[in-house]
Amino acid sequence: MAEFFVEIGEQVNFAKTVGETDVYMFAGITGDFSDNHVNEEAMEKTRYGGRIAHGALMVGYMSTASTMMTQKAFNRGVISNPVSLGYDGIRFLGAVMIGDTIHVSYTIAEINAESMRSLADIEVTNQRGELVAVGKHHMKWLTDLGS
Protein backbone atom coordinates (compact mmCIF):
# COMPACT_ATOMS: atom_id res chain seq x y z
CA MET A 1 0.00 0.00 0.00
CA ALA A 2 1.14 3.56 -0.67
CA GLU A 3 2.53 5.76 2.11
CA PHE A 4 -0.38 8.10 1.44
CA PHE A 5 -3.88 7.34 0.17
CA VAL A 6 -2.79 7.90 -3.45
CA GLU A 7 0.57 8.24 -5.22
CA ILE A 8 1.98 10.97 -7.43
CA GLY A 9 1.39 9.94 -11.03
CA GLU A 10 -1.55 7.69 -10.18
CA GLN A 11 -4.24 8.15 -12.80
CA VAL A 12 -7.82 7.31 -13.67
CA ASN A 13 -9.61 7.89 -16.96
CA PHE A 14 -13.26 8.37 -17.80
CA ALA A 15 -14.88 8.55 -21.24
CA LYS A 16 -18.42 9.41 -22.25
CA THR A 17 -20.28 10.45 -25.36
CA VAL A 18 -22.10 13.70 -24.58
CA GLY A 19 -25.69 13.17 -25.66
CA GLU A 20 -28.53 15.55 -26.23
CA THR A 21 -30.21 14.16 -23.11
CA ASP A 22 -27.14 15.03 -21.02
CA VAL A 23 -27.29 18.64 -22.20
CA TYR A 24 -31.04 19.04 -21.73
CA MET A 25 -31.07 17.41 -18.31
CA PHE A 26 -28.16 19.60 -17.20
CA ALA A 27 -29.96 22.69 -18.54
CA GLY A 28 -33.03 21.71 -16.54
CA ILE A 29 -31.07 21.11 -13.36
CA THR A 30 -29.10 24.36 -13.58
CA GLY A 31 -31.65 26.59 -15.32
CA ASP A 32 -29.06 27.45 -18.00
CA PHE A 33 -31.17 27.42 -21.16
CA SER A 34 -28.78 29.57 -23.18
CA ASP A 35 -29.16 29.31 -26.95
CA ASN A 36 -25.62 27.91 -26.92
CA HIS A 37 -27.03 24.71 -25.47
CA VAL A 38 -30.68 24.41 -26.53
CA ASN A 39 -31.27 26.34 -29.78
CA GLU A 40 -29.95 24.44 -32.79
CA GLU A 41 -31.30 26.98 -35.30
CA ALA A 42 -29.50 29.89 -33.64
CA MET A 43 -26.27 27.93 -33.13
CA GLU A 44 -26.13 26.66 -36.73
CA LYS A 45 -25.35 30.26 -37.73
CA THR A 46 -22.34 30.52 -35.39
CA ARG A 47 -18.75 29.41 -35.81
CA TYR A 48 -19.68 26.24 -33.89
CA GLY A 49 -22.27 25.15 -36.42
CA GLY A 50 -24.50 23.68 -33.72
CA ARG A 51 -25.23 23.42 -30.04
CA ILE A 52 -22.44 23.01 -27.50
CA ALA A 53 -22.41 21.36 -24.09
CA HIS A 54 -22.24 23.44 -20.93
CA GLY A 55 -18.73 24.03 -19.61
CA ALA A 56 -20.02 23.23 -16.13
CA LEU A 57 -21.09 19.81 -17.42
CA MET A 58 -17.40 19.17 -18.16
CA VAL A 59 -16.66 20.04 -14.52
CA GLY A 60 -19.25 17.43 -13.57
CA TYR A 61 -17.35 14.86 -15.60
CA MET A 62 -14.14 15.97 -13.84
CA SER A 63 -15.91 15.22 -10.56
CA THR A 64 -16.77 11.74 -11.87
CA ALA A 65 -13.05 11.14 -12.39
CA SER A 66 -12.24 12.30 -8.84
CA THR A 67 -14.80 9.83 -7.52
CA MET A 68 -13.14 7.11 -9.59
CA MET A 69 -9.80 7.97 -7.94
CA THR A 70 -11.26 7.65 -4.45
CA GLN A 71 -12.89 4.35 -5.44
CA LYS A 72 -9.53 3.10 -6.72
CA ALA A 73 -8.03 3.90 -3.31
CA PHE A 74 -10.94 2.20 -1.51
CA ASN A 75 -10.42 -0.91 -3.67
CA ARG A 76 -6.84 -1.07 -2.33
CA GLY A 77 -8.17 -1.04 1.22
CA VAL A 78 -7.68 2.66 1.96
CA ILE A 79 -9.90 3.77 4.82
CA SER A 80 -10.71 7.44 4.39
CA ASN A 81 -13.57 9.83 3.89
CA PRO A 82 -12.19 11.99 1.08
CA VAL A 83 -13.90 15.29 0.32
CA SER A 84 -13.42 17.70 -2.52
CA LEU A 85 -11.97 21.06 -1.53
CA GLY A 86 -12.63 22.50 -4.98
CA TYR A 87 -11.22 23.12 -8.40
CA ASP A 88 -8.69 25.70 -9.59
CA GLY A 89 -7.69 26.91 -13.00
CA ILE A 90 -10.68 25.53 -14.84
CA ARG A 91 -10.38 26.58 -18.47
CA PHE A 92 -12.61 25.67 -21.39
CA LEU A 93 -10.28 25.54 -24.37
CA GLY A 94 -12.64 24.23 -27.00
CA ALA A 95 -16.28 23.55 -27.60
CA VAL A 96 -17.78 20.16 -26.80
CA MET A 97 -20.46 19.41 -29.35
CA ILE A 98 -23.44 17.17 -28.75
CA GLY A 99 -22.25 13.76 -29.94
CA ASP A 100 -18.58 14.31 -29.02
CA THR A 101 -16.92 11.68 -26.88
CA ILE A 102 -14.91 13.25 -24.09
CA HIS A 103 -12.00 11.60 -22.30
CA VAL A 104 -11.16 12.84 -18.81
CA SER A 105 -7.68 12.16 -17.45
CA TYR A 106 -7.27 12.70 -13.68
CA THR A 107 -3.66 12.46 -12.47
CA ILE A 108 -2.35 12.95 -8.94
CA ALA A 109 0.25 15.73 -9.23
CA GLU A 110 1.02 16.65 -5.61
CA ILE A 111 0.60 15.17 -2.15
CA ASN A 112 0.81 16.93 1.19
CA ALA A 113 0.70 14.16 3.78
CA GLU A 114 0.88 16.63 6.68
CA SER A 115 -2.32 18.39 5.62
CA MET A 116 -3.83 15.15 4.25
CA ARG A 117 -4.36 16.69 0.81
CA SER A 118 -3.76 15.77 -2.78
CA LEU A 119 -3.81 17.88 -5.92
CA ALA A 120 -4.70 16.40 -9.30
CA ASP A 121 -4.24 17.68 -12.83
CA ILE A 122 -7.27 17.16 -15.03
CA GLU A 123 -7.39 17.17 -18.82
CA VAL A 124 -10.46 16.70 -20.97
CA THR A 125 -9.98 15.82 -24.63
CA ASN A 126 -12.45 15.03 -27.37
CA GLN A 127 -12.47 12.05 -29.73
CA ARG A 128 -9.98 13.85 -32.00
CA GLY A 129 -7.50 14.25 -29.15
CA GLU A 130 -8.13 18.00 -28.91
CA LEU A 131 -7.78 19.45 -25.43
CA VAL A 132 -11.15 21.01 -24.57
CA ALA A 133 -10.86 21.66 -20.81
CA VAL A 134 -8.28 21.61 -18.02
CA GLY A 135 -8.26 22.14 -14.29
CA LYS A 136 -6.80 21.18 -10.94
CA HIS A 137 -8.64 19.38 -8.15
CA HIS A 138 -7.93 19.62 -4.42
CA MET A 139 -8.88 16.63 -2.27
CA LYS A 140 -8.79 16.29 1.53
CA TRP A 141 -8.38 12.71 2.77
CA LEU A 142 -10.12 12.55 6.15
CA THR A 143 -9.40 9.59 8.40
CA ASP A 144 -12.45 10.29 10.54
CA LEU A 145 -15.18 12.90 10.64
CA GLY A 146 -13.19 15.02 13.11
CA SER A 147 -10.09 15.48 10.92
**pLDDT tens sequence across 86-102:** 999 999 999 999 999 99
What distance in Å separates the CA atoms of residue 132 and residue 111, rounded to the nearest whole number?
Answer: 26
CB 129 within 8 A of CB 85: no
Tell me the three state secondary structure of residue 24.
Answer: helix
Instruction: Identify the CATH assignment for 11-18+52-142 out of 3.10.129.10, 3.40.50.12780, 3.40.190.10, 3.90.1010.10.
Output: 3.10.129.10
Residue that wins the pLDDT comparison between 34 and 147: 34
Domain ranges (residues) in the chain: 11-18+52-142
Report the 10 Å Cβ neighbour count for 50.
13
What would the pLDDT profile of 116-141 be if each residue is shown by its tens digit?
999 999 999 999 999 999 999 999 99
What is the model's pLDDT at position 3?
77
What would the pLDDT profile of 2-38 be if each residue is shown by its tens digit?
479 999 999 999 999 999 999 999 999 999 999 999 9
CB 139 within 8 A of CB 66: yes
What is the model's pLDDT at position 146?
52
